[in-house]
Amino acid sequence: MAWRCAGRHPRVTAVANMMTSPRPDVSHGEPHPIGATVSPAGVNFSIFSKSATAVDLLLFAGLEDDQPLVIQLDARTHRTFDYWHAFVPGVGAGQLYGYRVHGPWMPELGQRFDGRKLLLDPYARGIAYSDPAAAHDDASAEGPNLRSAMKSLVVDPEAYDWEGVTPPTVDPTRRVIYELHVRGFTRHASSATAHGGTFDALIEKIPYLVDLGVTTVELLPVFQFNETDNQFFDPRTGTPLTNYWGYAPVGFFAPHRGYYIEGWERMRYLTGFRDLVKALHRAGLEVFLDVVFNHTGEGDERGPTMCFRGIENSMYYLVDQQDRSRYADYSGTGNTVSCNHPVVRRLILDCLRYWADVMHVDGFRFDLATVLSRDELGRPMTNPPLPWEIEMDPSLARKRLVAEAWDAAGLYQVGAFPGELWFEWNGIFRDDIRRFLRGDLGLVGAVAARLLGSPDIYQRRGREALQSVNYITCHDGFTLFDLVSYEHKRNLANGENNRDGTDANYSANYGVEGPTDDPAIVEIRTRQVKNAVALLLLAQGTPMLLAGDEMCRTQGGNNNAYGQDNETSWIDWGRLRSNAAVHRFVRAMIRFRHAHPSLRRRRFLLGAEVPATEDDGSRVRWHGVEPNRPDWSYTARTLAFTLFGSTDDATIHVVVNMHVEPVSFRLPAPHAGASWYRAVDTAASSPQDLPEPGQELRCASLACTLEGRSILVLIER
């Protein structure tokens, strides 16, 4: 080991003291655990690199320090197998550090070492920087980048008081997921929060979430990401766009710096994120994270060298087997992480354990999860080790795992994702319900299956209905209000000449593209929003709502707003007032679902041919305009079904009419001495569309006329 120092630091620190010490007593340290591990005596640093010829550990006195203390790790003393390590006494939490890793620059062989670049620790628990744009630009250019580079931050994960707050126990049958973006939820001035766009501001909105009735908050990526990972400009203003959604991670263990209100010096205890988790748990809400392990913010071969590329490029990434200077791209972002390489598998598992055990996260939604099932050559595996290891890990056994079971290269595993415990985003539910709502033909049978929890997709593999995560909208695509307001995407502001974003929106505008004051169009759009929410919350499975849909949030027809860190994406809380009736309906519909176990069975519902027993709540009977005569024809747009009550619920009857015109139905006879009561009527005005419990109107006869494009839900009493 050698020491090298280029100058003195302006303030006296442990690092500065070591620099002037006649005998800096840095020892060889230990290879495990990987990362920067704090102890009373100092910090153990460890990093993996198989092909490196030399590694420097750099300790910084400040963010823009360009004369750090450089510790050259001697391979004879500070390398164990492929781990480079050292123990540095006298430093602790709050210390800034980084690595320079030396080795061959041979892109044609998949090796991209650049000993001039400061690199992040892949296991860094905190990441600090002054200017993300400068950090990105200097990491992309040739030459050193000490002053501008993002720097790893030593964190003591034990230095936090959870105040006895533990994760809530949420009945999985009652789970309603609410997907939100930390910044966008409170960044708009109308949010009336003290520090809009931060973890702290989200804490202020917890009473709203509790009142809405959701049980689980799913946060879009909070891993440290590259905010400037966007090459496009808004053509209208010339403003450079950002990576707003956060799908460009550069540090898997570190919460995103941009969501904190405090300076980096106070990030050492990770208070902002853990305060949010503690507050959500205290309110009885779960916390899920949208995690991105399929790619990183280093991009393609022209991208910046920030971390993995400069440490062991062809181990962390899948390289093109025909041209190893390029990356295999199954993520659509320029690179793909080699998730099933043993060292990368370990990193992912260590990361998930950290967020579960140290940060108290309750579940994870895996972006483009099929990448986790590809081997080191990019080929899909029948039994990939990583998904199985994740679900069998003791720290993750009680956490909810949700797969987005497809990737950008066409591998589609909905209903077939490896493992047993995984839930899946059900994109088939989304598409079938959207098409049915707008009046497409040939969908009644498919919609019936979706309302049962998609047994045609999941039952044959022994899954439960709850493992279908049902959604109609999410961050990616139209908001619910835009789904009923635009037939075509409006993505010019994204700078890609409207070429980005899907064209398969299955949307309708009902007469006018975009905003309108026409009362007839406003009425049908509002009804269709309520119809979508009703079908989502009447379906077996686990429902997921997109934040803001309950107040008719709009993105002006932009269905790919990943770069719009502005009012296009931010929730305008003024719409809560202007769309109070829709908000009330969504809130009441969630409570209706909570109140009726028949709508949220674990097991798949069985048909009426199954003999009834006293406690059997698993039966469903299908109807058409006449009882017991369902219409499964191609031209059908009506559907009715009865969920027979058991000891824990009343019998529920649902009638759906997606014709434009009214349709007359005949109801099945209720049990002797009972009557049908109108619990939900999406054609009615608020509050009659979903009256308070006990205020439902009794049906005077078994004949009813259902308005066009509307849903009626009756309960037997």
Cβ atoms within 10 Å, residue 412: 12
Burial class (CB in 10 A: 0-12, 13-18, 19+), 169: exposed
617 lies in the same domain as 566: no
526 lies in the same domain as 506: yes
pLDDT above 60: residue 6: no
Q: How far apart are CA 80 and CA 44, in angstroms?
A: 14
Q: For the domain that residue 448 is a member of, what is the CATH number?
A: 3.20.20.80
The predicted structure's pLDDT at residue 648:
86
Q: How far apart are CA 555 and CA 571, in angstroms?
A: 9
**Quick one: which of 354, 450, 428, 368 has its CA closest to 403?**
368
Asked if residue 532 is part of any domain, the answer here is: yes
565 lies in the same domain as 616: no
Here the tokens at position 630 are 């369902």
- Active site annotation includes 500: no
Continuous H helices in 438-496: 444-451, 455-458, 480-483
Q: What is the 3-state secondary structure (H, E, C) of 325-366?
A: CCECCCCCCCCCECCCCHHHHHHHHHHHHHHHHHCCCCEEEE
227 lies in the same domain as 244: yes
Mean pLDDT, range 325-352, rounded to an integer: 97
620 lies in the same domain as 590: no
Q: How far apart are CA 390 and CA 56, in angstroms?
A: 33
Asked if residue 693 is part of any domain, the answer here is: yes
pLDDT above 70: residue 293: yes
**Quick one: which of 182, 641, 307, 191 has its CA closest to 449?**
641
Here the tokens at position 212 are 């809405």
Mean pLDDT, range 110-128, rounded to an integer: 97
> Structurally, how many domains does the chain consist of?
3
Q: What is the pLDDT of residues 84-114, one digit of tens each?
A: 999 999 999 999 999 999 999 999 999 999 9
- Amino acid identity of residue 318, one-letter, is L
Residues spanned by the domain of 654: 606-716
The predicted structure's pLDDT at residue 647:
81
Asked if residue 303 is part of any domain, the answer here is: no
> What pairing do the DSSP bridges indicate for beta strands 400-403 and 423-425?
parallel
578 lies in the same domain as 634: no
Q: Sign of the C-alpha dihedral, residues 475, 481, 486, 490?
A: negative
Q: What is the pLDDT of residues 509-567, one digit of tens each?
A: 999 999 999 999 999 999 999 999 999 999 999 999 999 999 999 999 999 999 999 99
Band the pLDDT of 21: cuts 50, 70, 90. Answer: very low
Express as a percent the part of the chain with pLDDT over 70. Answer: 94
Asked if residue 18 is part of any domain, the answer here is: yes
Q: What is the pLDDT of residues 49-89, one digit of tens each?
A: 999 999 999 999 999 899 999 999 999 999 999 999 999 99
Q: Which of 229, 329, 404, 681 is catalytic?
A: 404
Band the pLDDT of 615: cuts 50, 70, 90. Answer: very low
Cβ atoms 365, 413 nearer than 8 A: no
- Active site annotation includes 367: yes
The predicted structure's pLDDT at residue 267:
64
> What pairing do the DSSP bridges indicate for beta strands 2-5 and 69-73?
antiparallel
Mean pLDDT, range 599-626, rounded to an integer: 75
Beta bridge partners of 42: 39, 89
Here the tokens at position 589 are 């519909």
The predicted structure's pLDDT at residue 496:
97
The predicted structure's pLDDT at residue 17:
46
559 lies in the same domain as 634: no
The predicted structure's pLDDT at residue 609:
55
State pTM to two decimals: 0.95
Cβ atoms 42, 93 nearer than 8 A: no
Asked if residue 330 is part of any domain, the answer here is: no
Looking up tokens 């989200």 gives: 202
Q: For the domain that residue 59 is a member of, what is the CATH number?
A: 2.60.40.10
Band the pLDDT of 261: cuts 50, 70, 90. Answer: confident
CA contacts within 13 A on the Cβ side of 83: 16
Q: Which residues are CB-neighbours of 690 under 8 A, at least 6 positions away?
A: 584, 585, 588, 589, 592, 679, 680, 681
Mean pLDDT, range 208-213, rounded to an integer: 98
Mean pLDDT, range 268-293, rounded to an integer: 93
Please say which residue of 104, 119, 153 terminates a domain. 153
628 lies in the same domain as 582: no
449 lies in the same domain as 547: yes
pLDDT above 60: residue 616: no
Please say which residue of 89, 122, 153 terminates a domain. 153
CA distances from 543 to 55, 252, 469 (A): 49, 27, 6
Q: What is the mean pLDDT of the chain?
A: 93
563 phi and psi angles, rounded to 5 deg = -110, 10
Please say which residue of 548, 574, 597 terminates a domain. 597
55 lies in the same domain as 12: yes
Cβ atoms 31, 76 nearer than 8 A: no
Q: What is the pLDDT of residues 381-396, one digit of tens each?
A: 999 999 999 999 999 9
Cβ atoms 700, 693 nearer than 8 A: no
Asked if residue 388 is part of any domain, the answer here is: yes
Beta bridge partners of 622: 641
Q: How far apart are CA 622 and CA 448, in angstroms?
A: 9
Q: What is the pLDDT of residues 426-455, one digit of tens each?
A: 999 999 999 999 999 999 999 999 999 999
The full DSSP string for 241-272 is P---S---EEEEEEEPGGG-SS-GGGGGGTHH
Q: How far apart are CA 103 and CA 49, in angstroms?
A: 10
Asked if residue 511 is part of any domain, the answer here is: yes
Asked if residue 367 is part of any domain, the answer here is: yes
Cβ atoms within 10 Å, residue 20: 11
Q: Which of 367, 482, 649, 716 is catalytic?
A: 367
pLDDT above 70: residue 500: yes
Q: How far apart are CA 121 and CA 127, in angstroms?
A: 9
690 lies in the same domain as 556: no
Q: For the domain that residue 625 is a member of, what is the CATH number?
A: 2.60.40.1180
Residue 455, phi-psi category: left (phi > 0), alpha (psi -120 to 50), beta (remainder):
alpha
Band the pLDDT of 610: cuts 50, 70, 90. Answer: low
Q: What is the pLDDT of residues 569-586, one digit of tens each?
A: 999 999 999 999 999 999
567 lies in the same domain as 616: no
Instruction: Give the DSSP H/E element, type plus range, for residue 38.
Output: strand 35-39
Express as a percent the part of the chain with pLDDT over 90. Answer: 90
**Quick one: which of 485, 566, 467 has its CA closest to 532?**
485
Task: Name which of 84-93, 134-143, 195-204, 358-367 the model is least confident about.
Answer: 134-143
List % helix, strand, coil for the chain (3-state, nearest 5).
Answer: 25, 20, 50
522 phi and psi angles, rounded to 5 deg = -60, -40
Beta bridge partners of 27: 87
- Tally DSSP H helices, then E strands, for the chain: 17, 31
Q: How far apart are CA 249 and CA 578, in angstroms?
A: 37
Mean pLDDT, range 346-350, rounded to an integer: 98
